[in-house]
C-alpha cells in the first residue's frame, strides 16, 4: 500500500513567525503562523533582539518534531540576547505559542534557524543542486552523528550546475527507529535540495 508523498524544500527565515517590532510588556506574542511547515517538519526557533533583552525570557509552548504520542505540549524557555540572536534547543513543528516575560529593549523578530527536522517518515526520493565544492546530504536520527544514527548519507560532486536525483527503491529509508524519534537533515555545500517523503 502506498501512502501520500510530500515534499520538503527547507528554507529558514529570521522573520518567519514575527517581523521586527518592539514588545510592549509581558504576555503572549502575536505570531504570523503557529506551524513551522507541513506534515510535522520543523526548525529551531530564532529570536533576534536589536537591544539588550538578556533580562527577559521567551517561553515557547507547542509540539516538538517527532512528538507523535504525547498530547501534552512541550515547553522551552529561551533567554533573550543582547543585540544578537538566541535559538531554541528543540525543533518545533506546530501549535507554537511564545510568551515574553517583559518588555523588549528594542525590536524583536522571531523566525527559524538551522537544519530542518523530519518526523518519523520514509524518504522516498531526493533532488539536490550541487555547489562549486563537493558536498553531502545526511540524515541523522535525533540529530546524533555517532554510532549508526546516520540513516542517509549521499556524497555530491563539485559543480555549480550539477543536479542529482534518485528515486529510492522499496519503501524508502525510515528516518526514525521509534515513534518519538526525529531526524535532522544536514546539507553540506549544496545550493538547494528537496526530499520526497511519505
The confidence score (pLDDT) of residue 185 equals 96
User: Which whole number is the average pLDDT over 102-116?
Assistant: 96
Domain stops at, among 70, 98, 114: 114
- C-alpha grid cell, residue 91: 525543533
pLDDT bin (cut points 50, 70, 90) of residue 2 is low
Quick check: is 93 in a domain? yes
pLDDT digits (tens, 9 = 90+) for 62-82: 999 988 677 789 999 999 999
The confidence score (pLDDT) of residue 151 equals 94
**Same structural domain for residues 100 and 126?**
no
Least confident of 127-131, 145-149, 155-159: 145-149
Q: How many domains does the chain have?
A: 2
- C-alpha grid cell, residue 136: 553531502
Domain stops at, among 114, 144, 162: 114
Of 13-17, 163-167, 169-173, which has the strongest mean pLDDT? 13-17
The answer to whether 197 touches 149, Cβ cutoff 8 Å, is no
Quick check: is 155 in a domain? yes
Mean pLDDT of the chain: 93
**Same structural domain for residues 90 and 133?**
no
The confidence score (pLDDT) of residue 72 equals 81
**Same structural domain for residues 137 and 102?**
no
Quick check: is 161 in a domain? yes
**How far, in Å, are 6, 15, 97, 124 from residue 103 at the CA level?**
40, 19, 17, 46
Q: Where in the sequence is the domain holding 127, given as residue range(s)?
A: 122-197
User: Which whole number is the average pLDDT over 7-17?
Assistant: 94
**Same structural domain for residues 101 and 126?**
no
**Same structural domain for residues 127 and 178?**
yes
**Same structural domain for residues 129 and 167?**
yes
**Same structural domain for residues 97 and 128?**
no
pLDDT above 70: percentage of residues in the chain: 98
pLDDT bin (cut points 50, 70, 90) of residue 1 is very low
**Same structural domain for residues 90 and 166?**
no
**Same structural domain for residues 159 and 189?**
yes
pTM, entire model: 0.92
Domain stops at, among 82, 114, 146: 114
**Same structural domain for residues 171 and 188?**
yes
Buried b (16+ CB within 10 A) or exposed e, 67-97: bbeeeeeeebebebbeeeebbbebbbbbebe
- Strand ranges (E), 50-149: 57-64, 74-79, 85-87, 92-100, 107-118, 122-130, 135-141
**Same structural domain for residues 69 and 132?**
no
Amino acid at each position: 500500500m502506498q501512502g501520500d508523498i510530500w515534499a520538503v524544500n527547507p528554507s529558514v527565515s529570521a522573520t518567519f513567525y514575527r517581523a521586527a517590532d518592539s514588545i510592549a510588556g509581558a504576555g503572549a506574542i502575536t505570531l504570523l503562523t503557529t506551524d513551522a511547515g507541513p506534515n510535522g517538519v520543523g526548525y529551531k526557533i530564532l529570536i533576534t533582539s536589536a537591544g539588550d533583552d538578556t533580562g527577559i525570557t521567551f517561553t515557547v509552548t507547542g509540539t516538538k518534531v517527532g512528538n507523535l504520542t504525547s498530547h501534552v505540549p512541550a515547553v522551552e524557555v529561551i533567554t533573550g540576547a543582547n543585540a544578537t540572536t538566541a535559538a531554541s534547543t528543540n525543533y518545533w513543528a506546530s501549535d507554537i505559542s511564545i510568551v515574553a516575560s517583559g518588555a523588549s529593549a528594542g525590536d524583536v523578530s522571531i523566525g527559524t534557524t538551522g537544519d530542518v527536522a523530519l518526523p518519523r517518515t520514509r524518504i522516498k526520493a531526493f533532488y539536490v543542486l550541487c555547489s562549486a565544492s563537493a558536498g553531502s546530504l545526511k540524515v541523522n536520527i535525533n540529530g546524533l552523528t555517532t554510532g549508526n544514527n546516520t540513516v542517509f548519507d549521499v556524497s555530491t560532486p563539485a559543480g555549480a550546475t550539477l543536479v542529482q536525483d534518485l528515486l529510492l527503491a522499496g519503501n524508502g529509508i525510515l528516518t526514525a527507529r521509534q515513534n518519538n524519534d526525529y531526524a535532522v537533515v544536514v546539507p553540506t555545500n549544496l545550493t538547494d535540495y528537496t526530499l520526497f517523503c511519505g
